[in-house]
Amino acid sequence: MATAPATAPQPLADVPRERRPRHVAVIMDGNGRWAQRRHLPRIEGHRRGVASVRSTVEEAARLHLGQLTLYCLSSENWKRPQRELEFLMHLLEQYMIEERQTIMRQNVVVRVIGRRDGIPAATLAEMDKTVEMSTANTGTRLCLAINYGGRGELVDAARRIADEARRGQLDPAKIDETTITDRLYTAGMPDPDLLIRTAGEMRISNFLLWQISYAELWVTDRCWPEFEIADFHQAIRDYAARDRRYGGIKG
């Protein structure tokens, strides 16, 4: 009698769920460099980067990751050439339209953080439509940071707090960390456990400055268009092997 083929082990089956990060944030860096090394226009790097976004989101959903936050466009990126910015807005709009069926099939909840000013009306409309469509989903939360800056987020939170205090809705003496957390763009979201950065850069780049206070950092030299599921798994596996003490000592 023929023996049935053995079932292939599931990726990360060796990593207990309780050791995996609940929330992974990613600084997707190196699209332009990837393209330039291949003598291609920078926009081709952004186009190829969308494929990495797609595969990473799908894998996060398959792993039942609580949240995946992607740094799509920083508030500083507006300094880039106009043609590149227009292409980025086109890619974002296209992604929001083309990925809706997949997002719904995978039960993904889409959220967007950042300031809306500067983003074309057509792009905003598609973003809002995708967010609204996915509101009732219950799976992995996909948070897209678009026109986002950590310092700007803190400024906006400070303004809200000052306004509430001025109106007599908030006692300044009772302001604490929770007060600030609840007024950030990410209110209601867990802080990242793991921060991944591609392209080998060793900096935070104004990303989730408040929220990553205790995040584990994982940096790869691979540019974002080269980022593969195996890299994602390795980051999670390395995270699981770390001893997180949050300022305390191991008992």
pTM value?
A: 0.93
Write down the pLDDT at residue 1. Answer: 39
Q: What is the CATH number of domain 19-149+192-238?
A: 3.40.1180.10
Q: What is the pLDDT of residue 182?
A: 98
Consecutive 10-residue averages of pLDDT for the chain (251 residues): 48 92 98 95 95 97 97 92 93 96 97 96 97 98 98 98 97 97 98 98 97 98 98 97 73 56
Q: How far is CA 104 from CA 70, 135, 227, in A?
A: 19, 10, 24
Task: Report domain extents, the chain.
Answer: 19-149+192-238
Q: Residue 249: its pLDDT value, please?
A: 60
Answer whether 49's CB lies under 8 Å from 225's CB: yes
Instruction: Point out the catalytic residue in the list 31, 77, 171, 221.
Output: 77
What pLDDT is attached to residue 110?
98
CA atoms in the 13 A half-sphere facing the CB of 51: 10
- Active-site annotation holds for 77: yes
**Which pLDDT belongs to residue 248?**
62
Q: For this structure, is 117 an active site residue?
A: no
Cα distance between residue 58 and residue 52, in whole Å: 10
- Annotated active-site residue in 29, 31, 147, 193: 29
Q: Are 143 and 111 in contact (CB under 8 A)?
A: yes
